Amino acid sequence: MALFKKKKKLDTNSMEKGVYLVTIAKPTSVDTEQFNTIRTNITFSSADTEYKSLMITSSVASEGKSTTAANIAASFAKQGLSTLLVDTDLRRPTIAATFGIADPRGLTNFLTDRDFDINDVIYETTVDNLFVIPAGPIPPNPSELMGSRRMDKLREALEEKLDLVIYDAPPVLSVTDAQLLSAKVDGTLLIVRQGFAEKEGVRQAVDLLKHVNAHIIGVVLNDVDASTDGYYGYYGYGKEK
């Protein structure tokens, strides 16, 4: 692989404007510290093994998975790990908007064109050690692309070149993409939005992930009411049970 290219309600706001990178905009804030805590918990949960790849998903859309994925990726990068954030939500992508990438190409182009060089869509960001791959054009067959051998080869190549690869995946209950990917990554983090996610939906999501032997390393409770639950910010972390 060549050197990285340098970077020049369902809620659709994140697709159009991207997600809020509080870890970059407000590095000393309480919310940033919560993401740093999640990063630390992930690190300690892998005491006996080194995670090279993580998938972040939710049971349904609009639970904050893309915001969590982007901020956790930035948090790891700030610790000196070469970190790549990949937009594998090919139906509702956010990474291009979040990082201001105007080029419409992305992961889809690589998965559908054998002559396409993945380095053309790997971007540096303003955060040292943080790179991103946008989703690219929305394809008619996202699940087939996620389960393809070409995706498997790319995943293996990326994990060899970087310290950590984080995949922002679609919601589990909506499509099969997340299941396909979760079976191949080292760990999966499930985002649950308080007051939004339904208990039965979360259970179903966990069951579907377990069905493919996904390694669920934990659950992030998002949008927590700090006044009642004792969290300092919007995010709490707990092991999946």
**Helix, strand, coil % over all residues of the chain, rounded to 5:** 40, 15, 45
Confidence of residue 227 (pLDDT cuts 50, 70, 90): low
| CA distance linking residue 189 with residue 214, whole number of Å | 10
Full 3-state SS string of 39-52: HHHHHHHCCCCCCC
Q: Are 96 and 134 in contact (CB under 8 A)?
A: yes
Percent of the chain with pLDDT over 90: 76
Query: What is residue 237's predicted lDDT score, i.e. its pLDDT?
Result: 41
What are the tens digits of pLDDT across the range 20-32?
999 999 999 999 9
Mapped onto helix, strand or coil, the DSSP state of residue 81 is coil
Confidence of residue 205 (pLDDT cuts 50, 70, 90): very high
Percent of the chain with pLDDT over 70: 85
Sign of CA pseudo-dihedral 157, 158, 164, 165: negative
In the numeric block, which tokens belong to residue 127? Answer: 């955060």
- Classify residue 4 by its DSSP letter: P
How, if at all, do strands 187-193 and 216-222 pair?
Answer: parallel
Query: What is residue 48's predicted lDDT score, i.e. its pLDDT?
Result: 73
Give the DSSP H or E segment for 76: helix 65-78
Name the pTM for this structure: 0.88
Q: Are 90 and 145 in contact (CB under 8 A)?
A: yes
What domains can be seen in the chain, in order of their start residue?
Answer: 28-222 (3.40.50.300)
Q: Are 85 and 73 in contact (CB under 8 A)?
A: yes
